[in-house]
Structure 1
Amino acid sequence: MGDNGFNMPPGFRFYPTDEELVVHFLHRKAALLPCHPDVIPDLDLYPYDPWDLHGKAMCEGSKWYFYSRRTQSRVTGSGYWQPMGMEEPIYSNGKRVGMKKCSAFYLGQQPSDEGVKTSWIMQEYGLPDSISSTRSSSRRRSSKIDYSKWVVCRVYERNCDSDDDDGTQLSSLDEVFLSLDDLDEISLRNFT
């Protein structure tokens, strides 16, 4: 798993779903509960450019994972993270357990229309306000740190196969995910 310093058994792969990142990792982090295995490090994202995450964040393949504090500053040394679209809810057993926000990395100074969009993407997972405010109210009395403001991030570089790609074309994987936007129309009976 890269040069992270994590001692994992041979064959171990870290490939969590959105639900698993929120339920099994972020909720435990926010509640100050131990997480086994404790493989995701704490990292202040914003001083680092995405290509500097290797060796600092947990790496699996071409994806980096880390916890960070939720902050309004999204500026790094070489650029900034610009949110893309709306936040998406994350569900587990029919209950909303988290939110997912996607951002693209731009080179340049924020806010500037002249920033150059890169192929780096960040998926930032946070707790819904209703969950985080409930959990943090009891902790504020016992600690000066508000643990409800933690997020878990997945950063990766999107592959660009085309030389004339201007950043507006979708990858085939993105097109598949977009075609699945209305899962209510899909019946599991068709697959059995």
Structure 2
Amino acid sequence: MVEANLPPGFRFHPRDDELVCDYLMKKLDGSDSTLLIEVDLNKCEPWDIPGGKEWYFYNQRDRKYATGLRTNRATATGYWKATGKDRPVARRGSLVGMRKTLVFYQGRAPKGKKTEWVMHEFRIEGPFGPPKITTCVTKVSLH
């Protein structure tokens, strides 16, 4: 694990624009750092993600239907549900990405039980990103 190689006291707490510009954009152009790993959120539950109180990683957005645009956010025991509206991420006054907030529900919709797991999903937007990027940077935390 990456965490085992970090010096004592190291804290990784990047700003939203740093996640988009310094991690996601570099990942997509092939020059990403090894600090973030890839996690398939459809194959693991939030409590199984390795890390401390906050986890940062890359994930591929899975499509619910092969020919559709809807994202599949279901796991074996629950699902991630979007809450609120997407928030812009800017650097030096220019739009570089968007942040989507999701909450994990155990069970199946519409009768799922809300949990305290929160996800912030960051994607490239604006003039910096092609229209169909399927990789995003994700932050998961327990509140």
Q: TM-score, normalised by structure 2?
A: 0.86
State the match for 2:12 in structure 1: 14
Q: How many residues align?
A: 135
State the match for 2:41 in structure 1: 45
In 2 relative to 1, CA 66–97 (structure 1 residues): closer, same or farther, beyond 3 Å?
same
Contact persistence 1:67–1:151 (CA under 8 A): yes
Residue 155 (1) aligns with residue 143 (2) = no
Which whole-Å CA distance do the structure 1 matches of 2:140 and 2:49 have between them?
9
Contact persistence 2:56–2:138 (CA under 8 A): yes
Residue-by-residue CA offset, 1:80-137 (whole Å, 9 max, x unaligned)? 000001111100001101110000000112xx22110001000000011643227x8x
Which whole-Å CA distance do the structure 2 matches of 1:154 and 1:24 have between them?
15
Contact persistence 2:39–2:59 (CA under 8 A): yes
Residue 127 (1) aligns with residue 118 (2) = no
Contact persistence 2:39–2:58 (CA under 8 A): yes
In 2 relative to 1, CA 63–130 (structure 1 residues): closer, same or farther, beyond 3 Å?
same
State the match for 1:24 in structure 2: 22
In structure 2, list runs of 5 or more residues that go unmatched.
Answer: 63-70
Residue-by-residue CA offset, 1:138-191 (whole Å, 9 max, x unaligned)? xxxxxxxxxx32101000111xxxxxxxxxxxxxxxxxxxxxxxxxxxxxxxxx
Q: TM-score, normalised by structure 1?
A: 0.65
Which whole-Å CA distance do the structure 1 matches of 2:137 and 2:32 have between them?
15
Residue-by-residue CA offset, 1:15-51 (whole Å, 9 max, x unaligned)? 111111111111101111132xx21101111111100
What pairs up with 1:16-95 in 2 under 5 angstroms?
16-35=14-33, 38-54=34-50, 59=51, 61-71=52-62, 72-95=71-94
**Greater fraction helix:** 1
The answer to which structure, 1 or 2, has the higher relative contact order (CA under 8 A, 6+ apart) is 2
Which whole-Å CA distance do the structure 2 matches of 1:120 and 1:34 have between them?
27
Contact persistence 1:132–1:149 (CA under 8 A): no
State the match for 2:104 in structure 1: 105
Q: Which amino acid aligns with 2:6?
A: M
Q: Which has the larger radius of gyration?
A: 1
* Cα RMSD after superposing both structures: 1.8
Q: Between the two proteins, what is the percent identity of the paired residues?
A: 36
